[in-house]
Structure 1
Amino acid sequence: MRYKSTHRWRFIELGLALIFIIYAITTYHFANRNRFLPNTQIGATNVSNKTVNQAATAINRTLSQQKFSLTQNGKTLATFSTQKLGVHLQSTTALAKLMQQQNAWSWPLRFFGNAQADTKTKLAISSDKAALTSIIAEKTTALNKTRQAGSAGKLQIKNDKVTLQNGTAGNQISAAKLTNAVTAALASGDTSLAVTKTVYTTPSTNTQTHQLAKKATAILNERAAYNVGGTHFTIPKQKIASWLVYQNGTLTLNQNLVQAYVTALNHKYRTYGKTKTFKSTLRGTVSVSGGLYGWSFRVADETAALTAQILKGKSFTRQPLVQGTGYNTNKQVIGNTYVEVDKQNQKMFIYVNGKLKLKTNVVTGLPPKQTTTTGVWSVWAKKRNATLKGTELDGTKYATKVSYWMPIDDTGIGIHDASWQPTFGGTWYKTHGSNGCINTPPSVMPKVYKLVALGTPVIVF
């Protein structure tokens, strides 16, 4: 009995020793030859007893042959093969990391069931972007045929108020958003993607229309003011509301209406081409029409500038863009610095800042064909020692030298010294008048030249 018992224990010891040897050798095999443990799964690929490189080859084979599904609410919307996408591992770094994380001593436990590798470690997987984009575009087009498109938000401007009706998102899929989502899923080794609202086509007009509604409200609440020649006024809110246009996702102003408004302002406030009331030195208040002096709106430019200013949605006070001469903000048409030429009395007066600085007799144009043209003009040039050229009534040409020359219109009329005139003032002009210029005594002309600056109004009446 003792012999049999001893023999049995020796047999058990030998068995245990053999098991330990096999365990040790197998553990050494997995630990030192860098192989994955039995029944190890990475994604859908069994990498048992494979090295990192062998596992990468097997995974790439699986990736290139698998099906990818788009699902929603438990239903499969579409599937496609990854064969044409060139799906592959970018590197074996993650596999090497998984290899290092496994416990070689636990290999016997793997025979009792499959073990998924650490799911926290994501494999870096890439694919052919162009091929994927093409496939997703095709699938999206097919899916959207039975899905509801979103509706754009609506912006209305009525009764000086802005109302906003939000658009609806719908459930159509954005090909670009879905492509990005599938790319991320493939990169994580997933074989399916649950479609959610995050890949729906979002009507850009929702956010955009909210922003435009806010801008439209700011425009209607702004104070749009003018200072035209010293006259201050505000554009009525109702007027701006009637100009405001929301169309094709943009906010602008009706240019025809804005230009009509600017044209009306120009007609009301411009001084160019209008009869000017003037308090003369010897004849009281007179009305003088004609002449090039005055200003007007640059209608087209002012229309564009006003539009841009209003669309900023901030209160402002602007002065108009004008052309011509004499614009000021003192409500003055002519101002208090000017030259007065009284043809009836044959006298010229020069006022500077409201004070009479010079008065002199003159000789104006010979009536009736060469009379000095009535109107309000301005000195647009000053020149010393000029030669005046022209044609007499009989057709002969002349070239007359003068020491001082100050043209005032666009036909050659101006103020200059006239040494050939024996006398000035009175009725001399009726028989010995000029060709239209204002002949001034040579002794006085230097003072006139010094007193009168460029742009000074010249009133001839």
Structure 2
Amino acid sequence: MRHKSKSNWRVLSIFIVLIAVVYGIGSYYFATNNRFLPNTKVAGINVGNKTVQQASTTITNQLTNRKFSITQNGKTLTSFNTKQVGLKLKSTTALKTTLNKQSVWSWPLHLAHVVQASSTTKLTTTQNSKQFTKLVNQEVTKLNKTRTAGKNGTLTITNGQVKLSNGTQGNKIYAAKLASKLKKALASGATTLPITKAVYASVTTGSDAKIAKKTNAIINEKANYNVGGYKFAIPKSEIAKWLTYKNGQLSLNSTLVKAYVSKINTKYRTYGKKKTFKSTLRGTVTVSGGFYGWSLKVDDETAALTAEILKGKDFTRQPIVQGTGYNTKKQVIGNTYVEVDKKNQKMFIYVNGKLKLKTNVVTGLPPKQTTTTGVWSVWAKKRNATLKGSELDGTKYATKVSYWMPIDDTGIGIHDASWQPTFGGTWYKTHGSNGCINTPPSVMPKVYKLVALGTPVIVF
């Protein structure tokens, strides 16, 4: 019995030694030959006992040339070969990393079952962008033939009442969403892509109660204007017409808002319109021409008004204007101005409604050099200027003056004229200026001091 027991131990010892030798040889083999352990799968492809380059070749051959299916609820909707998208394995870096991380001592376990390495191996793949886009569009067109498009919710306003109708989602597939998921599936080595509602084209259901609440707030807000002193409210019915609702966003119809602002501009602007004026000697007169006046900056005001209305809060605003002489007291010219009466050859200066100065002047020589009628403004003031121009016969001149106040864009202005022996009366008819308002040198310093930049100058 003792002899038999020793024999059994000897056999067991030999067997253990053999296993150890085989285990050692196997470990040494995989450690020194840089090969994947048996039954290792990457992207669903068995690369066991292969080097990185061999594994790359195998993966490339299988990954880039196999059937791929798009499914839904377990049913195959369509399929294609990965060759159609020009799928390629970009590099072997991820395979090298996986190989270096494997434990060579665990190789016997790999003989017993398959080990998926794809969860830790992030393959870098590329697709031919043109081929990929073409295939996605083809598949989406095919898939959408029997699918229903979604319908956005709508917002309607009837008699000042807001109504929201719910939209429907639909099951049309959105190409961009499908493309995104398909790229990830192909890169992971998957052979199927189960699609869900996540790839459907988005719609706005329109059932948001907040939208209805905000819309009502906008329609019922008190929207007031103060345009040049004229105060009025924008009708609620008008604002209701402007409201639009699209893709879950409330906005205003810019064309309609601009039309309304343009209408206000036409009605209240002073630029380019005749101006009625109560003169000192000739009673009420109507004056045409001149650059003095203001108008709304229609585009800027349209944008500003839109933003204000969409806040849904009561407001009173003054519009964005351009030009000169804007005020909020229903005054076109105001009570500070210079009056040039060509018929009576006199100039009057009013400050805050009070006559501060009156003087005789000499205006332009009729009929070709008459001082231009209109309402202008003093846009510059200069001491010791040289006025240059041409006489009617073409002779050029350069005249020095002590005070210069231009009022238009052609070189006409108010200045001292030491060469004039007399002012007022009918002298202008034979010795008139080239268009400027010639003022007595003794009076001009007072004029220069009284008249500020921007002061309107009425010539009639």
Q: Structures share a fold, TM > 0.5?
A: yes
Q: Is the 8 A contact 2:377 2:457 kept in 1?
A: yes
Write the letter of the residue equivalent to 2:120: K
CA shift in 2, pair 1:373/1:71, >3 Å: closer
Q: Which residue of 2 aligns with 1:255?
A: 255
TM-score normalised to the size of structure 2?
0.70
Q: Which residue of 1 aligns with 2:101?
A: 97
Query: Could you tell me how far 1:339 is from its partner in structure 2?
Result: 3.2
Q: Is the 8 A contact 1:295 1:327 kept in 2?
A: no
Q: Which residue of 1 aligns with 2:141?
A: 141
Task: Report the secondary structure of 1:29's partner residue.
Answer: helix
Q: Which residue of 2 aligns with 1:447?
A: 446
Q: Which residue of 2 aligns with 1:123?
A: 121
Q: Is the 8 A contact 1:258 1:303 kept in 2?
A: yes
CA shift in 2, pair 1:56/1:242, >3 Å: closer
CA shift in 2, pair 1:266/1:361, >3 Å: same
Asked whether 1:28 is paired with 2:32, we answer: no
Task: Report the secondary structure of 2:95's partner residue.
Answer: coil
Write the letter of the residue equivalent to 2:325: G
The 10-residue stretch of structure 1 (357-366 or 24-33) with the greater mean CA deviation from structure 2: 357-366
Query: Could you tell me how far 1:304 is from its partner in structure 2?
Result: 0.9
Asked whether 1:288 is paired with 2:285, we answer: yes
Q: Which residue of 1 aligns with 2:67?
A: 67
Asked whether 1:304 is paired with 2:299, we answer: yes
Asked whether 1:178 is paired with 2:178, we answer: yes
CA shift in 2, pair 1:23/1:40, >3 Å: farther
Between the aligned partners of 1:87 and 1:24, the Cα distance in structure 2 is 39
Task: Report the secondary structure of 2:268's partner residue.
Answer: helix
Between the aligned partners of 1:415 and 1:224, the Cα distance in structure 2 is 48
CA shift in 2, pair 1:123/1:78, >3 Å: farther
Q: Is the 8 A contact 2:154 2:165 kept in 1?
A: yes
CA shift in 2, pair 1:21/1:135, >3 Å: farther
Q: Is the 8 A contact 2:362 2:438 kept in 1?
A: yes
Write the letter of the residue equivalent to 1:128: T
Write the letter of the residue equivalent to 1:289: T
Between the aligned partners of 2:28 and 2:202, the Cα distance in structure 1 is 55
The 10-residue stretch of structure 1 (365-374 or 64-73) with the greater mean CA deviation from structure 2: 365-374
Between the aligned partners of 1:369 and 1:21, the Cα distance in structure 2 is 128
Q: Is the 8 A contact 1:298 1:322 kept in 2?
A: yes
Query: Could you tell me how far 1:30 is from its partner in structure 2?
Result: 2.6
Query: Could you tell me how far 1:289 is from its partner in structure 2?
Result: 0.8
Q: Which residue of 2 aligns with 1:85?
A: 87
Query: Could you tell me how far 1:24 is from its partner in structure 2?
Result: 1.9
For each residue in 1:367-425, what CA deviation from the matched residue of structure 2 results, as whole angstroms up to 9, or x when unmatched? 9999988765555677867689767xxx9x99997967767677969676586656x67
Q: How does 1:18-57 map to 2 (within 5 A)?
A: 18-34=14-30, 45=45, 50=49, 53=52
CA shift in 2, pair 1:348/1:92, >3 Å: closer
CA shift in 2, pair 1:215/1:132, >3 Å: farther
Q: How does 1:336-351 map to 2 (within 5 A)?
A: 336-340=335-339, 348-351=347-350
Query: Could you tell me how far 1:73 is from its partner in structure 2?
Result: 1.4
Q: Is the 8 A contact 1:365 1:433 kept in 2?
A: no
Gaps of 5+ in 2: none
Q: Is the 8 A contact 1:255 1:303 kept in 2?
A: no
Task: Report the secondary structure of 1:171's partner residue.
Answer: coil
Query: Could you tell me how far 1:354 is from its partner in structure 2?
Result: 3.6
Write the letter of the residue equivalent to 1:97: K
Query: Could you tell me how far 1:236 is from its partner in structure 2?
Result: 3.3
Q: Which residue of 1 aligns with 2:168?
A: 168
CA shift in 2, pair 1:214/1:101, >3 Å: farther
Q: Is the 8 A contact 1:295 1:322 kept in 2?
A: no
Write the letter of the residue equivalent to 2:80: F
Q: Is the 8 A contact 2:257 2:306 kept in 1?
A: no
Q: Which residue of 2 aligns with 1:191?
A: 191
Gaps of 5+ in 1: none
Between the aligned partners of 2:365 and 2:113, the Cα distance in structure 1 is 120
Asked whether 1:334 is paired with 2:307, we answer: no
For each residue in 1:198-237, what CA deviation from the matched residue of structure 2 results, as whole angstroms up to 9, or x when unmatched? 223334x669x99998997786577655443344444334
Q: Is the 8 A contact 2:414 2:439 kept in 1?
A: no
Write the letter of the residue equivalent to 1:307: T
Task: Report the secondary structure of 2:301's partner residue.
Answer: helix
Asked whether 1:12 is paired with 2:8, we answer: yes
Q: How does 1:310-389 map to 2 (within 5 A)?
A: 310-312=305-307, 313-314=310-311, 317-323=317-323, 325-340=324-339, 348-360=347-359, 376=375, 378-379=377-378
Write the letter of the residue equivalent to 1:94: T
Write the letter of the residue equivalent to 2:185: A
Write the letter of the residue equivalent to 1:333: V
TM-score normalised to the size of structure 1?
0.70
Q: How many residues align?
A: 436
Q: Is the 8 A contact 1:220 1:237 kept in 2?
A: yes
Task: Report the secondary structure of 1:92's partner residue.
Answer: helix
Q: Is the 8 A contact 1:122 1:188 kept in 2?
A: no
Between the aligned partners of 1:38 and 1:340, the Cα distance in structure 2 is 106
CA shift in 2, pair 1:100/1:61, >3 Å: farther
Task: Report the secondary structure of 1:125's partner residue.
Answer: coil
Q: Is the 8 A contact 2:118 2:188 kept in 1?
A: no
Computing the radius of gyration from Cα coordinates, the structure with the larger value is 1
Task: Report the secondary structure of 2:287's partner residue.
Answer: coil
Q: Is the 8 A contact 1:137 1:175 kept in 2?
A: yes
